[in-house]
């Protein structure tokens, strides 16, 4: 049973990690707690579902449709909801994010209806057992897709010009401008990448639990936030680690303590981390050199 719960936890954790990465990237660039991120994840699931059921597309194109659709929504939000208030105090930006979240939830209810929609079963879910690990096909797919996306992201951030511009912008936006970096473009690009990763997580969850509903992003967004904070907000490897820790401890906690505490466990870990290392596991405490 432990091994099964562990693979459950790893699958769940990879989904949290994907969601948390988008969250932490946006925070890293514009210091915004992007409360709309959970709803982007929901939009991803619905776009993919529409691709599968309405348009009758196969799985992979639908998956991509979810990611692309949600990243367009993310960029549009950045453009029309956030960029007008970039220069205003941060609280205005936060309020815009909350407003955008309410908008997207209601938009989804209007378009796809408020009830839970079932995701078609596309993959025969078999159980494999490797070295004592028990994992299902879907869990392996979740893990594989997450690893692949994280590798692509790491490549972009580390080795491309735009990635370097992103790192500089997140360290010091003004200095980045003085290097000739078009920081607006970097911000939109960050929303695009972050949203597509969030959407991928949304589609994977839809496939895993075979359901999508307009409020599915609410808890997911909160947990992404918690994962990002646990790992050290603004830090991409930290967000992955935070997501995995959350997923595994939630699954094990649900199995060995009580499944009623499933969601509470996330926040217990958060409180514990904030008490012990407020900047998060991989977060750096800000030190100023004068």
Partner 1 sequence: MLHVKELDVYYGGIHALRGISFDIEEGKIVTLIGGNGAGKTTTLRTISGLVTPKEGTIKFKNQNLLKIPSEKIVGQGVVQVPEGRRIFVELNVEENLMMGAYLRRDKQVIDEDLEYVYKIFPRLKERRRQMGGTLSGGEQQMLAIGRAIMSKPRLLMLDEPSMGLAPIIVEEIFECIKYLNDNGLTVLLVEQNANIALQLADVGYVIETGEIAFSGEAKSLLKDDRVRKAYLGEE
**Site for partner 1, rule CB under 8 A:** 161, 164-165, 167-168, 171-172, 174-175, 177-183, 289-290
Instruction: Give the Å distances, CA to CA, from 266 to 44, 158, 228, 233, 256.
Output: 24, 30, 12, 16, 15
The distance of closest approach from Cβ of residue 170 to partner 1 in the complex, given in angstroms and rounded to an integer, is 9
Instruction: Give the Å distances, CA to CA, from 170 to 211, 233, 247, 278.
Output: 36, 12, 27, 20
Cβ-based nearer residue to partner 1, 36 or 165? 165
CA 211 to chain centre: 18
Phi, psi angle pair for 95, to nearest 5°: -65, -40
Cβ-based nearer residue to partner 1, 126 or 185? 185
Cβ-based nearer residue to partner 1, 155 or 261? 155
The distance of closest approach from Cβ of residue 289 to partner 1 in the complex, given in angstroms and rounded to an integer, is 7
Select from 196, 177, 164, 282 the least CA-distant residue to 234.
282
Select from 239, 230, 200 the least CA-distant residue to 68.
200
CA 191 to chain centre: 11
The distance of closest approach from Cβ of residue 236 to partner 1 in the complex, given in angstroms and rounded to an integer, is 12
Plot region of 283 (φ>0 → left; ψ -120 to 50 → alpha; else → beta): beta
The distance of closest approach from Cβ of residue 215 to partner 1 in the complex, given in angstroms and rounded to an integer, is 38
Q: Check: CB of residue 142 under 8 Å from CB of residue 15.
A: yes
Cβ-based nearer residue to partner 1, 52 or 241? 241
Q: Report the SS3 class of residue 175.
A: helix
Cβ-based nearer residue to partner 1, 115 or 161? 161
Cβ-based nearer residue to partner 1, 28 or 66? 28
The distance of closest approach from Cβ of residue 281 to partner 1 in the complex, given in angstroms and rounded to an integer, is 17
The distance of closest approach from Cβ of residue 75 to partner 1 in the complex, given in angstroms and rounded to an integer, is 19
Q: Are strands 133-136 and 127-130 parallel, antiparallel or unpaired?
A: antiparallel
Cβ-based nearer residue to partner 1, 115 or 174? 174
Q: CB burial class (10 A; 0-12, 13-18, 19+) of residue 151?
A: exposed
The distance of closest approach from Cβ of residue 124 to partner 1 in the complex, given in angstroms and rounded to an integer, is 46
């Amino acid at each position: 049973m432990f091994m099964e719960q562990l693979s459950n936890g790893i699958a769940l954790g990879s989904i949290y990690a994907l969601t948390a990465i988008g969250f932490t990237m946006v925070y890293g660039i514009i210091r915004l707690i992007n409360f709309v991120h959970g709803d982007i994840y929901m939009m991803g699931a619905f776009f993919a579902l529409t691709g599968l059921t309405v348009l009758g597309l196969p799985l992979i194109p639908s998956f991509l449709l979810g990611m692309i659709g949600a990243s367009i929504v993310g960029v549009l939000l950045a453009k029309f909801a956030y960029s007008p208030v970039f220069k205003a105090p941060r609280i205005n930006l936060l309020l815009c994010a909350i407003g955008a979240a309410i908008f997207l939830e209601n938009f989804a209810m209007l378009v796809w209806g408020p009830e839970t929609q079932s995701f078609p079963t596309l993959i025969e879910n078999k159980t494999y057992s490797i070295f004592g690990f028990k994992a299902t096909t879907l869990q392996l797919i979740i893990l594989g897709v997450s690893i692949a996306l994280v590798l692509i992201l790491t490549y972009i951030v580390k080795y491309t010009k735009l990635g370097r511009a992103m790192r500089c912008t997140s360290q010091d936006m003004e200095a980045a401008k003085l290097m000739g970096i078009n920081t607006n473009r970097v911000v939109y690009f960050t929303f695009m990448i972050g949203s597509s990763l969030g959407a991928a997580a949304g589609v994977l969850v839809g496939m895993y639990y075979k359901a999508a509903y307009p409020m599915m992003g609410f808890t997911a967004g909160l947990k992404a936030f918690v994962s990002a904070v646990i790992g050290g907000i603004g830090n991409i490897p930290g967000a992955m680690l935070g997501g995995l820790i959350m997923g595994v401890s939630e699954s094990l906690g649900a199995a060995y303590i009580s499944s009623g505490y499933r969601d509470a466990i996330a926040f217990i870990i958060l409180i514990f981390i904030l008490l012990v290392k407020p900047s998060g596991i991989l977060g750096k405490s800000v030190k100023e050199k004068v």
